[in-house]
Amino acid sequence: MIQAHPCPQIDTPVLPELRGLIDAAIHYSICNPPHGVVSDGFGRCADYAILGSRILNLLTGSNYRTVAGSEILDCGNGQLLLIAADRKSRRKAKHLSQLSMFHCWIEAHYCTEDEGPREEIIDFTVRHSHSTARQFGIPYCPPSSALPYQWAWRDELQLPAHLKIQGVDASLKTADACSTRLLHAFEAENLRYFSQLESMAMNWLIKLIDHLDLSNCEA
């Protein structure tokens, strides 16, 4: 069981207006040289989670942290895809690369004045859900309002009506200690790489915010 960090007193960690810009900066950094890779970032959920948590902690000084485990991907039209490594594989693995089926995302725990403890779920890889489903030959039909990322309070998420899975919460994500330990070790082994990505993402985020400010002034 993943242990929660002590939670700070906070209402809204990151303004909704900034979330899309942060997502765009993280995606840009991962998908562009000289430090990122020439691709759309598919299959790099660990990079998105690690870089995302570093950027969010840098911006807020808060307690965003990376976790890894399993995910049930709702592909629409009643189709579900389980992404999970079996327990034996998780315990046997010495490196994250030895796990073929896992997912990574970001969590943060808070104590709000009105609603008590709350958990935030952030996943910058929703943009790749269609590619994941296609890998397994499953059609993917997202809602028309779907964003390229997930950013929500866990208690506000609702399971789709057709999903009735015992022990599965509405985020469809379940962290486990073995996978999370491997994820943290992967970050520790690649500190220079993630520092470079972080610098690139922050520079791009500043450009995006400056452009937004200029556009607002012109309007």
Decide: 50 and 187 in contact? Cβ < 8 Å.
yes
Task: Using the predicted structure, report yes or no on whether residue 199 has a pLDDT greater than 70.
Answer: yes
pLDDT for res 174 = 92
CA distance 30 to 40: 8
Q: Which residues pair with 106 in a beta bridge?
A: 66, 122
Set out the domains of the chain in order of their start, with CATH numbers: 16-218 (3.10.550)
Tokens representing 44 are 């790099």
* Percent of all residues in the chain with a pLDDT value above 70, rounded to a whole number: 88
Intra-chain end-to-end CA distance of the chain, in Å: 50
Per-residue pLDDT band for 211 (boundaries 50, 70, 90) equals: confident
Task: Using the predicted structure, report yes or no on whether residue 146 has a pLDDT greater than 90.
Answer: no
Mean pLDDT of 148-158: 90
CA distance 128 to 177: 25
Highest mean pLDDT among 6-10, 15-19, 196-200: 196-200
pLDDT for res 64 = 94
CA distance 80 to 18: 31
| Amino acid symbol at 26 | I
